[in-house]
Amino acid sequence: MTKKLSTRDRILDAATALIWRDGYHAVSVDAICAAAAVQKGSFYHAFASKAELLLAALIRVRDVDRAEIERIYDNGAPIIDQFHEHLEWFGIAQRRLKAKYGFVPGTFNMVLDINVPEQVLQTVRAGHAAHLALVENALIAILGARETHDYCRWLASMVDRLIHGVMIESRLSNSLSGFDTFPESIFALVGIGDPPGSAVAQKIGEIAGSKRAGA
């Protein structure tokens, strides 16, 4: 038996889908109420304002993502495998969200701009800092004595920017192709793996070389 959603959860579900697709400022309270099939009075009984709703939606999305990533680092696997699974998670999550919403959404904070309440921006910054620390700690554990912590901190920031870049590109193109070789690309970037397709490129080079030798 399917559990009936509360009015608050229906509003949150509707608002999350609309805001993720159209952006925070483009979505009105009336549109959210229509999508959730609730009266405006019910909206303001559940949330004091649209800004409060945005914060609740942001926290809910963040907490789901955080729980899934933290489970990866609690699975007892070697850290290098956990980091690979962490990187794979981005594509898996985006595929799941595309199946749910019908488009590639990227991260929820992509729908925000500077004209949102400071508490929302603080929540975004705190979530970003926590995720960046996970990446940094993983790189420190993987690279160990090979690199300094300062280098791992810088490298984590570069990985983080690449993650966001792929997310933005995927949202703009509504395509998941950027995630096809994503973990392998990051591994090559940080020096713990070969670039995607490198084995194929090497084989092609060998064939070309043998043909030249036989010419």
Residue 119 corresponds to which amino acid? Q
Question: pLDDT class for 139, splitting at 50, 70, 90?
Answer: very high
Q: How far apart are CA 188 and CA 193, in angstroms?
A: 5
Closest C-alpha among 25, 26, 50 to residue 115 = 25
**Span 102-112, mean pLDDT?**
92
Q: How far apart are CA 117 and CA 119, in angstroms?
A: 5
CA atoms within 13 A on the CB side of 160: 19
Question: pLDDT class for 146, splitting at 50, 70, 90?
Answer: confident
Question: pLDDT class for 25, splitting at 50, 70, 90?
Answer: very high
Is residue 153 within 8 A of residue 136, CB to CB? The reply is: yes
Q: How far apart are CA 160 and CA 114, in angstroms?
A: 21
What's this model's pTM, rounded to 2 decimal places?
0.84
Enumerate the H helices of the chain as residue ranges: 7-22, 29-36, 40-46, 50-72, 79-101, 118-143, 149-173, 182-190, 198-214
**Span 140-159, mean pLDDT?**
89
Question: pLDDT class for 115, splitting at 50, 70, 90?
Answer: confident
pLDDT tens-digit readout, 60-94: 999 999 999 999 999 999 999 999 999 999 999 99
CA 188 to chain CA centroid, nearest Å = 20
Q: Which domains does the chain have, with CATH numbers?
A: 1-47 (1.10.10.60), 64-214 (no CATH)
User: What is the structure's pLDDT at 113?
Assistant: 81
Is residue 58 within 8 A of residue 48, CB to CB? The reply is: no
CA angle 109, 112, 115 (to 5 degrees): 145
**204 pLDDT exceeds 70?**
no
Average pLDDT of the chain, as a whole number: 89
Q: Which positions ≥6 away from 91 have C-beta within 8 Å?
A: 176, 179, 180, 182
Question: pLDDT class for 194, splitting at 50, 70, 90?
Answer: confident
Q: Which tokens hold the place of 145?
A: 């004595």
**Span 103-127, mean pLDDT?**
91
**100 pLDDT exceeds 60?**
yes
User: What is the structure's pLDDT at 205?
Assistant: 47
CB atoms within 10 A of CB 214: 6
Closest C-alpha among 75, 72, 74 to residue 90 = 72
